[in-house]
Amino acid sequence: MKGEASDLVKITGIPASGETADEATRRRFLELMGASISLATGAGCTRPPTDFLMPYSSDPPENVIPGRPKYYATAAVMNGIAEGVIVESHLGRPTKVEGNGQHPASLGATSVHSQACVLDLYDPTRAKEILYKNQISSWESFIVEFQRVFEAIREARGRGLSILTETVVSPTLAAQLSRLSMELPEARWHQYDPAGPHSARAGAMTAFGRYVNTYFRLDRADVILSLDSDFLAIGQASTRYAHDFAFGRRVRGTNTRMNRLYAVESSLTATGGKADHRLALKYSEIGRFAAELAAAIGTPGIAAAGNQFATWTGPLSRDLMAHRGASAILAGETQSPALHALAHAMNATLRNVGTTVIYTDPLEARPEDQIASLHQLVDDLESGSVRMLLILGGNPVYNSPADVEFAAALDKAPLSIHLGLHADETSRAAHWHVPESHFLETWGDARAYEGTITIMQPLIEPLYNSHSAIEFIDLFFQIPGWNGQRIVRNYWMANSKAPNFEHWWRESVGRGLIANSALPEIAPALRPIDTSSLVQEANAQGLELVFRPDPFLYDGRFASNAWLQELPKNMTKLTWDNAVHVSPRTAKRLNLKPQHVVEIRFRSRTVKGSVWISPGSADDTVTIHLGYGRRYAGVVGNGAGFDAYLIRPSDAMWHGSGAELHPTGETYPLATTQMELSMEGRTIIISKPIDTYRTDPDFVRRINPEPAENETLNPQWSFTGYSWGMAIDQTACVNCSACVIACQAENNIPVVGKLQELFHRDMKWLRVDVYFTGDDEHPKFSYQPVPCMQCENAPCELVCPVQATVHSSDGLNDMVYNRCVGTRYCSNNCPYKVRRFNFLLYSDWYTEQLKMQKNPDVTVRSRGVMEKCTYCVQRIREAEIRARNENRYIRDGEIQTACQQVCPTGAIIFGDINNPDTEVSRLKREKLNYSLLAELNTRPHTTYLAELRNPNTEMPA
Amino acid sequence: MRVAERQQQTARPILPVERTDLPLVAPGVTFRSLTGRVVANVLQPDVPLFWFWCYLAAIAAACVFSTALAIVLDVGIGVMGNNIPVAWVFPIANYVWWIEIAVGGSLLSSILRLTNQGWRSSINRIAESVTLAGIVCAGLFPIIHLGRSWVAYWTLPYPNTMIIQPNFRSPLVWDVFGIGTYALASVLFWYMDLLPDLATMRDHATSRISYFLYGLLSLGWSGASHHWRLHERAGLLLAGILTPLVFTVHTVVSFDFCISLVPGWHSTIFPPYFVTGAILAGISMVALMTTWVRSSFRLTSIITERHLNNLSKLILTTSVIMAYVYVFEPFINWYSGNYFDIYSTYVRSAGNFAWTYWAFILLGLGVPQLLWWKKNRITPRRLFVIALLIVIGMWLERYMLMVTSLSRDYLPSYWANFAATGADNALLYGSIGLFLCIFLLLIRALPMIPMYEIRMLLPLSKPGGGSVK
């Protein structure tokens, strides 16, 4: 089958970017898809092996109706941890990822990364061919070379074989690796993830003497303390955490229960911005803070270490102790192991273990100190004892610590093979590069943050000559006719223990998870905690350097994803670059100006970056994000930002003191989509303490009175059928930006590039605005997602000379692309500035792969026309047709806009506001509901629920 | 001279003619010398050197314009600096500026004609040439500005199978009609006014081609009293039509702004404010071109200091009205108590583009005050510089109106700045080249002085005129 597929690929070879590479065409897709769907079983959710290919055009397969998408469950994986997703497929093209409502990590929502992964699949710069020393080679030549070296290794019982993987969680891959170590006991397996939970692992080891997996049940927590943890935005459990967090502060009517979030952090994160109380502390002081707090709550074995932060730890400890068993203390991945251990101890003291804090066995197949593992590998390479190095995924040449000379060591290996999605830095340094299949092209399995297993199924045959890690490892076992499905299926046939395997298989694959596969709770015994290192650290002098994973590019693996590159960073709204973040006071002290280039000197290594002043950063702290400065990440990733790995030593993976900043006198422009963070005293986001609402629930009406209905000369709209509307709960929004990417994927929104972003020509229909109030030292942040307001008295409709934007009978403000001549008057007249203009031909009309990603239900806009949020009108129309065929009204919740569907916190609610019984109508009757810029009498159909905070009155203001 | 003046007064006692010691036509000008002087400038075979160099420079600038235009049409209007929120800048500022410049000629040929301001005759043709060239430039920019210029005709109500009509609620559609009517009336007036002079040109033609062409264009004008009567009647009629147009066209242009709800635009003062601004810019441009043509073509005997004096007074008057607007607008914004309006005043005077505001205050309101001194009014060089500064100031004002309001509107999250690109500048400066090109061609190919009108001013044409000097 493989051979046939490859032959088909070769029907149309299109040379791209200097390489002669085969690119799939739409026709090939239909052919392959026809084959795969025609063989699909009745359940429609699984995809058995395709043993032959059949053209779609001659014999349409059963169950496929053109124009009606199909949905398949699988999982998006990062650091080995899964988030369950459902992927929409149009005639065999996966186009959009949605959350899997049954999956514990998703509950129907997804992270930004899962949303964006579909673009990775179609990335035109993905690796397409096997490379030998950066020249196109063939699979046959590779096998010859592989066998030659492997024969010798096999005879030496694996001596000389080293495998470097990212964190392995997949049961199938783990089984393969353990079988390999049985067959080749001398072979070595190393793991390295640059931004993985190294501290959490080491912290668990310190606290319990063993590795454990920790997760939180924030739905049971009334008081949450984040110690530098960006749990709402980063990590494979963030979607679930955001969901649980937001549902703990869902104020409706007289239900005013609200959890409380404290955040102590060195850099500004989305989680900190959401906190009811936020304290910006130098990285090194957070340890002391935690130690003082631990003493204050009476953690056994912790002596009072001082009361430097008594104004905070006093009321905080009282609040925590008042909520024993219903509080949670989360230590950030970037904090030290000692702090993680202390957090475990504090959670135990607060009796949170088993209620809000759950321990299980580790998810990883082999938890270990990955830094040590990488050091070991490099030592082996240096000593010449490695004859074959196999790098399965990852990009260690780019992202290994600065003191680990991985690239130099790699040169010493007689044979190095890199399996990767892109021909990246490591591929260029290795002898062989083998293209890796995207997870939407392969079979596999993975565990969620609490252990639930998903069997991942492909949505599409591999676009290129690529293989998955599971398929690749099978090379060692010499099984003829290997393919991913057979390997995964065989593993589960042996391990599922199901009485009826076929039934179990279909059910598990189809649902996207294996029922009851979550890891059981354990109760590890706590060891005595030593806080001396934490307290000592606080005495550090000079500037502190903090490394953080980028919220969107993460460790750099998404650098070639244009959607994520252009997604405005959740707090700074920067696009296409990382920056050197410093607080306003530090910037003033060091005389730093935004967008001026500084040289960061850290332990005799240097890197240059552009300064960005972030209110909310701790003083004397320099925050830089990983994932930028890629050299071989395709046209999208190359040249964006600077490479923080260059100065990141393995003994200071997340922070170190003694950094120096030296202005270079150069400037480097940074593109931000939001220049002004202040509300300028205008009523934009109404934010009040919950107590205000409890005593005076009508405060919103008073602050922001709605104009009377008759305050217009124009006739009123009356809606006889549906009238679509949206309510956005600003208390729930945690600024994860998943809605922005979901909108982009659903509505074929183009990316424009950094230059156009500098011109302020962003195209995203939905944006999440961040405002801060208060002074630079104590800023309070609020988030506001802004889609089109679909005004009834729409200012844009009035001024369009050609009636290209008109009102629909169901309350939408329609945009007629064909009719638009591009006067941009509508944008001038839009007080919310939600209209976007194609100043140039931004949509990619030519790249074959990108055509396949497009949503066929949405027009791909050309140059010179205006566009804007449509409330996902294609989804409305689809539901309308369905309802009409079934002779019924559209049910509440039947239509979800893309932003609503992906939102983990349920902050966006859409529905018919002409029907008083819908969820959105109920929200609009809430006393917190208000219209943005109500005084303009635009009568928007998108309204906001005022943000409520839950401050502790005992805390310092 | 006084006799002639008094006679004029008795002949047309509609409005008192200004009393001045400056003569309208220099002493010694006769029918023959007048015609000879004007006709020679047109038909003389050798191109005057200064005209040649000016025309070359103008053509070069016009080439820049057309190149930039080609790039904009081919690549997209993204080569200009516009963005969201600042979606209108250079093309619209240029458009408003050129349409303002155009109004100078219309004012002279309509209102001043109806009110019998005899002094306007000598400079009328120059002013109308400014109008024509200005309208061409002004008409191009709204089309260049469109995202899809090739479908600009969709703004017109024309029969089509889809039965889609333009949105008559949109000020941009009013604009299409406003500018269209104005352009049509201006061209008609200009041509009608040209007829007797075209006949003179025909009669003085030195070559068969020019004889044929001028003959064709003069539509068989024979100077019969019947022709003159019709001509006079048509002139009055068109002047009557053009008079309200001078006001409506700029009112409609101002609607583009004040109908919208952008803070700083949404103001009822805009129509009179735009009309005044237009007259200021238009008359300044006429003064600029008049002083230039006057000295270049040695027309000092026909365009006298009195003309310069009167133009200067017009400029001075409108600048004072403008100043009043600039005092009153912040007051109304403050008095309204509307936060956004107050903020827009603040942004203009102290925001990111405050320099444009103060530059306009200096150039558009401050510089004209120099005209309180008579020496500045009648010295051509001084007037030239002053008028040039005012014209520049008026462009800055339009630019200021765009950027200050659009870059700082309702939601601070979507505030942005604007930076002009090469295409923006090329189109602006190139359009000046285009303007000069048209203007220079007009004054070369057609009599730049309305001979028939001047003849009427000469003492010879008055009863007993032969006795005066």
Q: Which amino acid is at A721?
A: G
Q: In 3-state terms, what secondary structure has residue B36?
A: helix
pLDDT for residue B256 is more than 80: yes
Q: Which residue has the higher pLDDT, B29 or A881?
A: A881
Mutate to test the interface with B, among A799, A836, A933 (most CBs of B within 10 A): A799
Tokens of residue A356, six digits: 């809000």
What whole-number distance in Å separates Cα of residue A299 and Cα of residue A347? Answer: 9
- State which residue of chain A sits closest to B91, comparing Cα positions: A823
Contact (CB<8Å) B260/A840: no
* B85 preceded by a cis bond (ω within 30 of 0): yes
Q: What percent of chain A has pLDDT over 70?
A: 92
Contact (CB<8Å) A684/B339: no
Q: What is the pLDDT of residues B128-143, one digit of tens each?
A: 889 999 999 999 999 9
A227 neighbors A344 (Cβ within 8 angstroms):
no
Contact (CB<8Å) A674/B414: yes
What is the average pLDDT score of chain A? 86
Contact (CB<8Å) A837/B411: no
Q: What angle do CA A908, A913, A918 make, to 5 degrees?
A: 70
B37 neighbors B299 (Cβ within 8 angstroms):
yes
What is the H or E stretch that residue A201 is in?
helix A198-208
Q: How far is B9 from chain A (nearest CA, A)?
A: 50
Residue A561 pLDDT level (bands cut at 50, 70, 90):
very high
A339 neighbors A287 (Cβ within 8 angstroms):
yes
Q: What is the DSSP letter of A60?
A: P
Residue B52: the pLDDT is 85
Residue A740: the pLDDT is 94
pLDDT for residue B92 is more than 60: yes
pLDDT for residue B20 is more than 60: no
Residue A600, CB-side half-sphere exposure with 13 Å CA sphere: 30
Q: What is the pLDDT of residues B280-306, one digit of tens each?
A: 999 999 999 999 888 887 787 788 888
**Shortest CA distance to B147 belongs to which of A836, A232, A33, A742?**
A836
Residue B140: the pLDDT is 93
| pTM, rounded to two decimals | 0.88
Q: List all residues of chain B from 404 to 423 with a beta carbon under 8 Å from chain A.
A: 406, 409-417, 419
Per CB-CB distance under 8 Å, the chain B contacts of A841 are 76
- DSSP-derived secondary structure for B292-310: HHHHHTT-TTTS-HHHHHH
Q: What is the pLDDT of residues B177-199, one digit of tens each?
A: 999 999 999 899 889 888 988 88
- State which residue of chain A sits closest to B414, comparing Cα positions: A674
- State which residue of chain B sits closest to A800, comparing Cα positions: B170
Q: How far is A841 from chain B (nearest CA, A)?
A: 7
What whole-number distance in Å separates Cα of residue A935 and Cα of residue A921? Answer: 22
Per CB-CB distance under 8 Å, the chain A contacts of B77 are 822, 839, 864
**B176 phi, psi to nearest 5 deg:** -55, -45
Contact (CB<8Å) B84/A761: yes
pLDDT for residue A442 is more than 80: yes
Residue B351: the pLDDT is 87
User: Nearest Cβ partner of A823 from B146, B406, B417?
Assistant: B146
Per CATH, which fold does B24-449 belong to?
Formate dehydrogenase/DMSO reductase fold (1.20.1630)
Contact (CB<8Å) A828/B262: yes
B340 neighbors B333 (Cβ within 8 angstroms):
no
pLDDT for residue A506 is more than 90: no
A763 neighbors A842 (Cβ within 8 angstroms):
yes
Per CB-CB distance under 8 Å, the chain B contacts of A802 are 154-155, 164, 166-167
Residue B34: the pLDDT is 73
Neighbours of A778 (CB within 10 A): 15
What whole-number distance in Å separates Cα of residue A694 and Cα of residue B456? Answer: 87
- Beta-strand relationship, A605-613 and A580-582: parallel
Q: What is the mean pLDDT of residues B21-47?
A: 70
Q: What is the DSSP letter of B361?
A: I
Tokens of residue A430, six digits: 């290795």
User: Nearest Cβ partner of B172 from A676, A823, A840?
Assistant: A823
Mutate to test the interface with B, among A673, A684, A770, A802 (most CBs of B within 10 A): A802
Q: What is the mean pLDDT of residues A86-112?
A: 89
**Which residue blocks in B204-352 are alpha helix, DSSP H?**
208-217, 225-258, 270-296, 305-336, 339-350
Give A808: exposed, middle or buried? Use CB within 10 Å, 0-12, 13-18, 19+: middle
Mutate to test the interface with B, among A824, A836, A838, A863 (most CBs of B within 10 A): A824
The answer to whether B70 contacts chain A (CB < 8 Å) is: no
- Beta-strand relationship, A213-216 and A357-360: antiparallel
Q: How far is CA A430 from CA A286, A371, A416, A418, A643, in A?
A: 41, 21, 5, 6, 21
The answer to whether B350 contacts chain A (CB < 8 Å) is: no
Q: In 3-state terms, what secondary structure has residue A87?
A: strand
Residue A30 pLDDT level (bands cut at 50, 70, 90):
very low
Q: How far is B280 from chain A (nearest CA, A)?
A: 27
Q: In 3-state terms, what secondary structure has residue A746?
A: helix
Q: What is the mean pLDDT of residues B241-258?
A: 90
Q: How far is B335 from chain A (nearest CA, A)?
A: 18
Q: What is the DSSP letter of A874?
A: H
Q: What is the mean pLDDT of residues B214-229?
A: 89
Per CB-CB distance under 8 Å, the chain B contacts of A768 are none
Q: How many CB pairs under 8 A join A and B?
A: 166
What is the H or E stretch that residue A815 is in?
strand A813-815
The answer to whether B267 contacts chain A (CB < 8 Å) is: no
Q: What is the pLDDT of residues A901-917, one digit of tens each?
A: 999 999 999 999 999 99
- Poorest-confidence range of A693-702, A923-932, B389-398, B460-469? B460-469
What whole-number distance in Å separates Cα of residue B270 and Cα of residue B274? Answer: 6
What is the H or E stretch that residue A239 is in?
helix A238-247
Q: What is the pLDDT of residues A819-870, one digit of tens each?
A: 999 999 999 999 999 999 999 999 988 888 888 889 999 999 999 999 999 9
The answer to whether B260 contacts chain A (CB < 8 Å) is: yes
Per CB-CB distance under 8 Å, the chain B contacts of A764 are none
pLDDT for residue A214 is more than 60: yes
Q: What is the pLDDT of residues A121-172, one digit of tens each?
A: 999 889 888 999 989 988 889 888 888 888 888 888 888 899 999 999 999 9
Q: What is the pLDDT of residues A38-47, one digit of tens each?
A: 444 333 333 4
Residue A57 pLDDT level (bands cut at 50, 70, 90):
very low
Question: Using CA of residue A429, residue A435, residue A440, residue A443, what is the dihedral sign?
Answer: negative
Residue A19: the pLDDT is 33
Tokens of residue B352, six digits: 């990111």
Q: How far is B79 from chain A (nearest CA, A)?
A: 8
Contact (CB<8Å) A771/B413: yes
What whole-number distance in Å separates Cα of residue A784 and Cα of residue A306? Answer: 40
Residue A920: the pLDDT is 94
Per CB-CB distance under 8 Å, the chain B contacts of A864 are 76-77, 146-148
**Shortest CA distance to A209 belongs to which of A675, A540, A526, A649?**
A526
3-state secondary structure labels for all residues of B43-100: HCCCCCHHHHHHHHHHHHHHHHHHHHHHHHHHHCHHHCCCCCCCCCCHHHHHHHHHHH
What is the H or E stretch that residue B374 is in?
helix B374-378
Residue B22: the pLDDT is 61
- State which residue of chain B sits closest to A761, comparing Cα positions: B83
Q: What is the pLDDT of residues B330-365, one digit of tens each?
A: 898 899 888 899 999 999 999 889 999 999 999 999
ipTM associated with this complex: 0.89
pLDDT for residue B377 is more than 60: yes
Per CB-CB distance under 8 Å, the chain A contacts of B411 are 682, 684, 769, 786, 831-833, 932-933
Mutate to test the interface with A, among B411, B415, B421 (most CBs of A within 10 A): B411
Tokens of residue A237, six digits: 């459990």
Q: How far is CA B52 from CA A810, B205, B441, in A?
A: 65, 22, 11
Contact (CB<8Å) B417/A769: no
What is the average pLDDT score of chain B? 86
Contact (CB<8Å) B76/A786: no
A608 neighbors A642 (Cβ within 8 angstroms):
yes
Per CB-CB distance under 8 Å, the chain A contacts of B78 are 756, 759, 761, 839-840, 863
Beta bridge pairs of residue A948: A688
**Shortest CA distance to A487 belongs to which of A498, A497, A476?**
A476
What whole-number distance in Å separates Cα of residue A139 and Cα of residue A151? Answer: 18
pLDDT for residue A569 is more than 70: yes
Per CB-CB distance under 8 Å, the chain A contacts of B410 are 682, 831-833, 933, 936
The answer to whether B84 contacts chain A (CB < 8 Å) is: yes
Q: In 3-state terms, what secondary structure has residue A623?
A: strand
């290994």: which residue's tokens?
A400
